[in-house]
């Protein structure tokens, strides 16, 4: 498994712990992204983790500091408040487990938005950007 | 004994003093050229022969001085920082900061004006590598 797949799975595990209503396995979360409108009701809440992008800074002794940003979209059938409560739970879980159970040195939530479409009253997207930190070398 | 011979003697003694498979890096001056391998110690030894110094207030005997700067770098491996700084690093520092460690090196006449010292700011961590830099000034015995 690649390093990035390991990080993606660790973020998925974190969100799963915070949002226990997510269906099991691929029905509830996946690496990569699809349009949420393709999801059935039994697949929500559903998390997509995608678009990893790394910034690499060289350190002494031929080491590197690698910061990777991840986009995470949690699709929710529910009210704005329901989506906001999920986001609160994800932030609390991250505060309690910033290393993603030892997968990285640190993981932070850089931004979060709840996206709403007036044409689709109940479907909400919690759009998040995570950043992980690891040292290599 | 020449300054070059004394440097070689210091390096040989470091091999038996430092923990975790020590080895001297090919570059003594640049920290960006080589890695410190996982869970091992590497060191950089810089020294130069300085002007002669008067020996013990003698007005007739003059020995060359040697300024020494030693950087010891350790890769933490899977260990924690404090497992090293509270244990193995302390042992290495205690040995190297003792003037007797230097006096018993062939060609070292005595530890002169500057005793071995490490400033707290010279103990640093970069990524997974913790390093410290020790400085001192030796007097070389040319007749050893």
Say which CATH number the domain at B49 has.
Answer: 3.30.2000.30
Q: Which residue of chain B comes nearest to A60, CA vs CA?
A: B32
Q: What is the mean pLDDT of residues B74-94?
A: 95
User: What is the per-residue pLDDT for A32?
Assistant: 95
b or e along A74-83 (b: 16 or more beta carbons within 10 Å of the residue's beta carbon)? Answer: bbbbbeeebb
Residue A76, pLDDT > 70, answer: yes
Summarize pLDDT for B69-79 with one digit per residue, the tens.
999 999 999 99
At residue B51, the pLDDT reads 67
Q: What's this model's pTM, rounded to 2 decimal places?
A: 0.81
CB-count exposure of residue A42 (10 Å: 0-12, 13-18, 19+): exposed
Say how far residue A102 (Cα) sits from the centre of its chain. Answer: 17
- Asked whether A65 and A46 are in contact (CB, 8 A), the reply is no
Helix segments in B18-76, DSSP class H:
none
* H-helix segments, A1-137: 3-18, 80-96
Q: What is the mean pLDDT of residues A29-58?
A: 94
Out of A40-54, A95-109, B8-22, B100-114, pick the least confident: B100-114
Kindly report the average pLDDT of chain B as a whole number.
Answer: 90
What pLDDT score does A100 carry? 97
Instruction: Render pLDDT for B122-140 as a digit per residue (tens, 0 to 9).
Output: 999 999 999 999 999 888 8
The pLDDT value recorded for residue B55 is 64
Is the backbone peptide bond immediately before A45 cis, with ω within 30 degrees of 0? yes
pLDDT-derived band of residue B65, with 50, 70 and 90 as boundaries?
confident
Which domains can be identified in chain A, with CATH numbers?
3-136 (3.30.2000.10)
Give the closest residue to B20 by CA, choosing from B77, B86, B105. B77
A105-118 tens-digit pLDDT: 999 999 999 998 87
Complex confidence, ipTM: 0.84
Instruction: Supply the pLDDT for residue B142.
Output: 79
pLDDT classification of B109: cutoffs 50, 70, 90: confident
The rounded mean pLDDT for chain A is 95
How does pLDDT run across B35-62, given as a tens digit for each residue?
A: 999 999 999 999 887 766 666 666 666 7
- Cα–Cα distance, A76 to B84 (Å, whole number): 47
Paired with A5 in beta bridges are none
Query: How many domains would you assign to chain B?
Result: 1
Asked if B127 lies within 8 A of A59 by C-beta distance, the reply is yes
Question: Strand runs (DSSP E) across B20-128, as ranges?
Answer: 23-24, 41-54, 62-75, 108-111, 123-126
- Which residues of B are less than 8 Å from A61 in CB distance? 31-32, 34-36, 73, 75, 126-127, 129
Kindly state the DSSP code that residue B61 receives in the 8-state scheme: -
Is A41's Cβ below 8 Å from some Cβ in B? Answer: no
**A102 CB contacts (<8 Å, ≥6 apart)?**
none
Full domain range(s) for residue B21:
3-140
A59 close contact with B: CB closer than 8 A: yes
């Amino acid at each position: 498994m690649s390093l990035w797949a390991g990080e993606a799975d660790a973020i998925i595990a974190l969100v799963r712990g915070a949002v226990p209503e997510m269906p099991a396995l691929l029905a509830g979360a996946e690496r990569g992204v699809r349009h949420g409108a393709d999801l059935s009701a039994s697949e929500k809440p559903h998390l997509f983790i995608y678009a990893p992008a790394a910034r690499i800074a060289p350190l002494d002794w031929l080491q590197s500091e690698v910061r990777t940003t991840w986009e995470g979209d949690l699709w929710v059938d529910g009210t704005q408040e329901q989506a906001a409560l999920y986001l609160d739970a994800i932030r609390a879980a991250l505060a309690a487990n910033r290393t993603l159970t030892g997968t990285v040195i640190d993981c932070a939530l850089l931004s979060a938005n709840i996206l709403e479409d007036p044409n689709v009253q109940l479907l909400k997207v919690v759009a998040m950007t995570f950043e992980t930190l690891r040292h290599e070398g | 004994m020449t300054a070059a011979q004394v440097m070689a003697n210091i390096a040989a003694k470091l091999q038996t003093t430092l923990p975790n498979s020590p080895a001297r890096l090919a570059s003594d001056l640049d920290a960006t050229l080589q890695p410190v391998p996982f869970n091992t110690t590497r060191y950089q030894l810089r020294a130069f022969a300085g002007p002669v110094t008067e020996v013990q207030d003698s007005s007739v005997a003059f020995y060359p001085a040697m300024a020494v700067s030693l950087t010891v770098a350790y890769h933490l491996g899977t260990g924690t920082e404090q497992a090293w700084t509270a244990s193995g690093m302390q042992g290495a520092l205690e040995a190297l900061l003792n003037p007797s460690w230097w006096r018993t090196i062939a060609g070292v006449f005595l530890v002169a004006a500057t005793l071995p010292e490490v400033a707290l700011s010279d103990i640093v961590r970069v990524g997974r590598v913790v390093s410290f830099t020790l400085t001192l000034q030796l007097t070389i015995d040319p007749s050893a």
